[in-house]
Structure 1
Amino acid sequence: MKKTTSRDGTTIAFDQTGQGAPVILVLGAFNDRMTGAPLAAYLARRFTVLAYDRRGRGDSGDAATYTIDREVEDLDAVIQAAGGAAAVFGYSSGALLALAAAARGLAITRLALYDAPPGQPAEHTQALASLVAAGRRGDAVEYFQRRMVGIPDEVVAQLRHAPFRPALEAMAHTLVYDATIVADGHITAALAEVRQPTLAIAGGAGAPVMRRVAETLAAQLPGGRAVTIEGATHDLAPALLVPVLERFLDG
């Protein structure tokens, strides 16, 4: 594990593996850097891969006040640790964060986005913040699962007993961050500012809305194109993702 420091003084932890051109993994809700470890291991055969804990997760620090700009600065700190410029792979809400960073002019060479989510009502952010403030972290997890992801009630009930449930509750406060990122209009208004070659990827076996989002992003981004990976779901499946990513990252 390595560490770097964001502009506001927050410590950001990351793992670095492999050799070659740098690629940074920016992951989504309920994810820390270990979620991306299998994908990083595949990519590390040809690239230097940096997988980091977004603020509030894993070994990274946090601050009392959250803004998207702070998370953009976190990514910038990792880019600087990578040598000053890097390709970025964004997953789920992390894809929208990566887009925000590109629109703000970070030194991103190429941008790959997997299953970028559709916009969500801004009211979710306050609802999640209220649950976390009241100490109802489990309720916040289930609110996000049910209201934002669309997991059926019976499945949400089953997940209460999953061995990873404590880890989800430990990250519950960061769901407020993800809800902020995916709130309607926060990111998409700046798409015209994204000049990097961008590949919007969706899983062919996932929710149809993800394919629609990928196609919309590709149409709106000056350097964008979309691709669907047949058989892929919302999960990160290295064997399916890596061939597509390698072709794109190699230019």
Structure 2
Amino acid sequence: MTKTNTSPTTSLHQVTSADGTRISFERSGHGPTVVLVAQALSDLRDNHRLGALLADGYRVVNYDRRGRGNSGDAGSWEIAREVEDIEALVDAHGGTAVLFGASSGAVLALDAAAGLPEKVVGVIAYEPPVIVDDQRAPVPRDLAARLDALVRDGLASEAVREFNRVALGAPALMIWAMQAMIGPWRAMVKMAQTTVYDTRLCMGLQDGEPLSTDRWKALRAPVLVLVGSKSEPFLQSGTRELASLIGADCSTINGAHHATPMMKPAALIPWVRSFLTTAHP
């Protein structure tokens, strides 16, 4: 049975996942439960703005995925372990929830919905980073192994640079600018091991080929897929193909881009609240 504890030093709480990993989260608001699933190299701090906007009317559970922030890391990663983390959070908050995930967090939210059909009652997926055409280079299948080797060799900063360059397609100038922001860069370096996890999470979805129907064939929950009008063309085409594949509605948010859920989440709220009203009547 899941046990919930409160940290003595902050407003953080914890649940224990199936493999014993402690998962930290913040809880705000009252009402039906919405769980926020963070993107790559992010922790719960990056979803604070979105959580605050949703806390008026919903109970928002904003958590650190394993290996990030105050959550633990059992060291034997599989997608199923992260799904179990979400299950522990949902069980601790009434047994059903809608998931909001951005980027790789959207992929994980869809995996959780497929694996927990009685507990995940809806998913909002913002720009899952799938690559289905030649509008950008595919992510090499050996990237996860390369990142893992860098982390094991004590080259965490290099792993973060490589993940940003290869997986995210960030240009050299952008990576240089990120490194110049010392605090945020150090926070990402602390999460370097999770670049391996997110690369493995998205494996098979970033090959530049049409998506397979197999991964989410068990998906039953309603899904809203969102994409920004200012996002890169590969994200727009990939997001729309994924939505078509799973039979989900897909809406384009004018003026939004890949970082909008973190930077200007208010732009998403009309679509998010409309969906929540249906999924959480």
User: Considering the TM-score relative to the shorter chain, is it more than 0.5?
Assistant: yes
Determine helix, strand or coil for the equivalent of 2:173.
Answer: helix
5 Å-filtered alignment, 1:39-54, equals 39-54=50-65
Contact 1:121 1:184 (8 Å CA) reproduced: no
Pairs within 5 Å for 1:95-110: 95-106=106-117, 107-110=119-122
The residue aligned with 2:224 is 199
The one-letter code matched in structure 1 to 2:253 is I
Q: Is the 8 A contact 1:121 1:183 kept in 2?
A: no
Matching residue within 149, 154, 158 for 1:130 = 149
Q: Taking every aligned residue pair, what percent have the same amino acid on both sides?
A: 36
Q: 3-state DSSP class of the match of 2:34?
A: strand
Structure 1 stretches of 4+ moved >2 Å: 119-122, 185-189
Structure 1 position 185, deviation (Å)? 5.1
On the 8 A contact 1:192/1:220 being kept in 2, the answer is: no
1:50-78 deviation per Cα after TM superposition (whole angstroms, max 9, x unaligned) = 00000011111111211111111001101
Aligned to 2:44: 33
Question: Hey, what does 1:152 align to over in structure 2?
Answer: 171
| Matched position secondary structure for 1:193 | coil
Correspondence 1:213 to 2:225: no
Residue equivalent to 2:124:
112
What is the root-mean-square deviation in Å for CA atoms of aligned residues? 1.5
Give the CA deviation at 1:215: 1.1
- The answer to whether the 8 Å contact 1:109/1:196 transfers is yes
Equivalences for residues 53-202 of structure 1 within 5 A: 53-106=64-117, 107-118=119-130, 120-163=139-182, 164-184=184-204, 189-202=214-227
Between the two proteins, the alignment pairs up a number of residues equal to: 250
Partner amino acid, structure 1, of 2:239: A
Q: Does 1:229 align with 2:253?
A: yes
Cα deviation, residue 5, structure 1: 0.5
CA distance in structure 2 between the partners assigned to 1:27 and 1:118 by the alignment: 16
What is the alpha-carbon distance in structure 2 between the residues aligned to residue 111 and residue 159 of structure 1? 31
The answer to whether the 8 Å contact 2:113/2:122 transfers is no
Match of 1:15 among 18, 26, 31: 26
Give the CA deviation at 1:157. Answer: 2.1
Check whether the contact 1:191–1:220 (CA below 8 A) recurs between aligned residues: no
Instruction: Sort the Cα spacing of 1:212 and 1:185 in 2 relative to 1 into closer, same or farther, 3 A.
Output: closer
So what's the TM-score if we normalise by structure 2? 0.86
Decide whether the 8 Å contact of 1:26 with 1:90 is kept in 2.
Answer: yes
Q: For structure 2, list consecutive stretches of 5 or more residues without a partner in the other structure.
A: 1-11, 132-138
Can you give the 5+ residue segments of structure 1 that lack an aligned partner in the other structure? none
Offset, 1:202: 0.7
Deviation larger for 116-125 or 92-101: 116-125
Question: What TM-score results when the alignment is normalised by the length of structure 1?
Answer: 0.96
- SS of structure 2 residue aligned to 1:228: strand
